[in-house]
């Protein structure tokens, strides 16, 4: 699981030395978004199925439509490029 923000400039400034770990997603690429957003792929959160279900039930997590494989591949590549993400997570994404 990763976090998405519409505060693009702040995210870019915070990660300026590892910009290849940020993925911009426009509202034309993913119509569910109302504004251009950015994913910081340095922050990956491992969650169990049970944790995800609990978050969905408590409305702390919103279910969104599936993203195009092109976007998913960009996210995967950025997570793998991150110097702070665990190698175990990177290995799972390379498989």
Q: How many CB atoms lie within 10 A of CB 55?
A: 14
Number of folded domains that form the chain: 1
pLDDT in tens, 51-71: 999 999 999 998 889 999 999
Between CA 46 and CA 12 the distance in angstroms is: 24
Instruction: Give the global pTM.
Output: 0.86
> For strand 37-44 and strand 2-5, is the pairing parallel, antiparallel, or unpaired?
antiparallel
* Structural domain range at position 73: 2-94
Percentage of the chain surpassing pLDDT 90?
A: 80
pLDDT in tens, 4-28: 999 999 999 999 888 899 999 999 9
């Amino acid at each position: 699981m990763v976090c998405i923000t519409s505060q693009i400039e702040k995210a870019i400034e915070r990660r300026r030395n590892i910009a290849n770990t940020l993925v911009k997603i426009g509202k034309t690429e993913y119509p569910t978004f109302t504004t251009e957003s950015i994913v910081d792929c340095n922050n990956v959160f491992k969650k169990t199925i049970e944790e995800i279900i609990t978050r969905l039930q408590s409305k702390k997590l919103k279910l969104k439509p599936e993203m195009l494989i092109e976007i998913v591949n960009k996210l995967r590549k950025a997570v793998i490029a991150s110097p702070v993400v665990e190698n175990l997570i990177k290995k799972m994404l390379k498989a």
